[in-house]
Amino acid sequence: MATVPSQLSLFPAGPSPELPDGLIYREDYITGRDADGLLAAVDASPWRADLKRRVQHYGYKYDYKARQARIEDRIGPLPVFLERVAARLAREDVFSQTPDQVIVNEYLPGQGISAHIDCRPCFGDTIAILSLGSACVMRFAHRPSSRTVDLALRPLGLLTISGEARNEWTHAIPARQSDVIDGERHLRSRRVSLTFRTMRFE
């Protein structure tokens, strides 16, 4: 599977924005059949509803109020359906070791997530996001330079965030009903993201 510069396929013709260093997008990282199996496994598992969107935590529970995950927040090993993906990510050197923490987020049309940088004391240097269901646009922002970059995330694709993009850029999903992708407006439907991380305890 080739890694392709995301802006070649996800932005309209013409000048493309320069992506932050450490941001890699892989289209069709999994098959549609794989996605169906993952969604079925996710929907057979219990959801948490303590946010505006539904979430599931695996490996370690993340405390949104404290903005951290601690060693005592361990839930247990990843379930088989997530362990298979985690093992592949390590095997293909997306991670230097097998991810041991996953958060599943469900986004319905109109839902998003505010600009943030994933917890640096508790999560490792790489974040990987697998998209299922609807496409959406994720916005990256570099506050010191006031730069912003919009990146379309399509279903089946894998986004890897590391380096400068991980540590110096926030990422967010604007809360709206539709996105403009390749110059065309796309209505959102249900999107489920699987975010893989490695825990780091200091």
Q: SS3 of 117, please?
A: coil
Q: Which CATH number fits the domain that encloses residue 103?
A: 2.60.120.1520
Give domain status of residue 10, yes or no. Answer: no
Give domain status of residue 202, yes or no. Answer: no
For 105-116, what is each residue's pLDDT tens digit? 999 999 999 999
Sign of CA dihedral 175, 180, 181, 187: positive
* pLDDT attached to residue 64: 82
Count of the separate structural domains present in the chain: 1
Give domain status of residue 9, yes or no. Answer: no
What is the C-alpha to C-alpha distance for residues 112 and 156, in angstroms, rounded to an integer? 19
Give domain status of residue 7, yes or no. Answer: no
**Phi and psi, residue 80, nearest 5°:** -55, -40
* pLDDT attached to residue 75: 95
Give domain status of residue 11, yes or no. Answer: no
Element (H, E) at 10: helix 6-10
Give domain status of residue 80, yes or no. Answer: yes
Domain residues for the domain of 99 are 23-197
Q: SS3 of 158, please?
A: strand
pTM for the full predicted model: 0.89
Give domain status of residue 54, yes or no. Answer: yes
* pLDDT attached to residue 51: 81
Give domain status of residue 175, yes or no. Answer: yes
The stretches in the chain having pLDDT less than 70 are 1-17, 202
